[in-house]
Amino acid sequence: MKTNKKIEKNVPTQVRLKGIVEGYNEEFAGIVDAKGKKYSLRGVLVGEEVEFTADSNGKTTLQKLNSTNPKRVKVTCPIYSKCGGCRLLHLEYKEQLRLKTEVIEKLFGKYTKVKVNECLGMTKPYNYRNKNQVVFRNDPKEKMICGFYQENSHNVIRFNNCLLQDETSDKIVASIKEILIKMHINAYDEDRKYGLVRHVMVKRSFKTKQTLVVIVTANDNLPGRSNFVKAILAKHKEITTIIQNVNSRQTSAVLGDKNIVLYGPGTILDELCGLKFLISTQSFYQINPFQTEVLYTKALDSLNLSQDDVVLDAYSGVGTIGLIASRKVKKVISVELVKDAVTNGITNAKLNNIKNVHFFCDDATKFINNLAMKKEKIDCVIMDPPRKGSDVAFMNAVLKLMPKKVLYISCNPYTQCEDLKLLYDKYVIKYIQPVDMFPHTASIENIITLERKN
């Protein structure tokens, strides 16, 4: 039997609720108790009375603030609620730092009496990113738009400038869009798998002012390539190199493997803690250079390294920490999983005429276990793993090596706290210093230095 009844779509049901914000979760969303149930809600502060909707899929949306926290500030960014990058933009910066310090105190207070130093912030916590990355889309009205992906989706949110990104880099992206429209070059259409320009990435050194522009295309062909280069250079004298990166894959990864140098040397030079570092299209590099210097200086100072020390730099990336430490010690052994990063590290060592850093491309756990088996003498283990942290086997190998000191730098203090629990039988915490590498975001970077008990 045929019916005319519409098929019910799985539309989530919604309720309107009211409550007081009583704390924050790990992402600094507010925790609200309403009708005996806990909800997490974005964009709210402790003590505020809020009205919000919650749907059956668990999505909550702020509807009304009935009272405000005195530390709340006005948000000027027009895409703040859609983009999702800046979780704390509505909170006074000093208070953001206090909150981040408090997180570290709560995590590590159980294990030590050492005072957590106040999270080190920036005097001007804006425009600190040395890299921006923007997606391009065709648009029926404006021909082409550019912006960020909306959180958890492939919708593009238009933007003119981002408070965290470098202003010059944002202007370069805007100029590229204008030039592409004039040249009738279109953006790549993910659904129809048609068109050319996917992303633009700009990397800058704030010290040397060298600027790398990467235009990511779906295939090799960039019509009017030399006219494009001429047009963009005429507008932006600060550009020192331009790359076309070809990404023909159907993936959410921004970059493909093929790079065509359209102008300049293909790389830029930056300076960090008095050393030179080469930045290429693909290479990993810390994105807040101001705070990276603070982080590395504080971390290495806490170790009091001496000329006889042998240091293991695990999860070394392009070798930055190890190379900076090398000036104070006898030898550094760096281990990193990604081959390109290791190659960059070797180049960086040569660039600075550093000969006492030895690079290895390996899994850090496998590598440190080998060192422990060979009973290698290591005075200090520096570790800076990715967000998911290290693992039990790595920490156990540290206990076999028994270095005098361990320095654990982390962009996720929750996993850092779990990993370090395995050391407290033999090690004591000597120093705790959070550093605000990503102001206005929920991210917390934390330095912990430990010493062997005897």
Nearest distance in Å: CB 53, ligand SAH: 39
- Cα distance between residue 260 and residue 185, in whole Å: 18
The answer for 110, left when phi > 0, alpha when psi is -120 to 50, beta otherwise, is alpha
Tokens for 124, please give them.
């001007």
- Cα distance between residue 449 and residue 454, in whole Å: 16
Q: Return phi, psi of residue 247, to 5°.
A: -125, 100
DSSP state of 207: T
Give the residue nearest to ligand SAH (CB).
317
Token pair 């070809």 is found at 246
Q: What is the binding site for ligand SAH (CB under 6 A)?
A: 284, 286, 315-317, 320-321, 335-338, 341, 363-364, 384-386
Residue closer to ligand SAH, measured from CB, 12 or 386: 386
Known catalytic residue: 77? no
CB atoms within 10 A of CB 390: 26
> What torsion do the CA atoms of 69, 75, 81, 87 make, to the nearest 10 degrees?
-60
Residue closer to ligand SAH, measured from CB, 263 or 285: 285
- Cα distance between residue 296 and residue 319, in whole Å: 12
Tokens for 148, please give them.
């960020």
The answer for 402, left when phi > 0, alpha when psi is -120 to 50, beta otherwise, is left
Residue closer to ligand SAH, measured from CB, 172 or 364: 364
CA dist 301 → 121, 294, 313, 344 (Å): 18, 11, 15, 25
Tokens for 284, please give them.
């990993």
Task: Find the angle CA(247)-CA(289)-CA(317) to the nearest 5 degrees.
Answer: 55
Tokens for 46, please give them.
């402790």
Nearest distance in Å: CB 316, ligand SAH: 5
Nearest distance in Å: CB 367, ligand SAH: 7
H/E run at residue 315: none
Nearest distance in Å: CB 291, ligand SAH: 12
Nearest distance in Å: CB 317, ligand SAH: 3
Residue closer to ligand SAH, measured from CB, 74 or 339: 339
Residue closer to ligand SAH, measured from CB, 145 or 338: 338
Q: Which residues pair with 434 in a beta bridge?
A: 446
3-class DSSP assignment, residue 334: strand
CB atoms within 10 A of CB 124: 9
- Give the CA radius of gyration of the chain: 25
Residue closer to ligand SAH, measured from CB, 264 or 322: 322
Q: Which residues pair with 72 in a beta bridge?
A: 91
The catalytically annotated residue of 83, 273, 411, 417 is 411
Residue closer to ligand SAH, measured from CB, 60 or 286: 286
Residue closer to ligand SAH, measured from CB, 51 or 293: 293
CB 272 within 8 A of CB 296: yes
Nearest distance in Å: CB 86, ligand SAH: 22
Nearest distance in Å: CB 379, ligand SAH: 19
CB-based burial label for 236 (10 Å; 0-12, 13-18, 19+): middle
Contact partners, residue 4, CB within 8 Å, separation at least 6: none
Nearest distance in Å: CB 215, ligand SAH: 25
Tell me which residues are annotated as active site.
Answer: 411
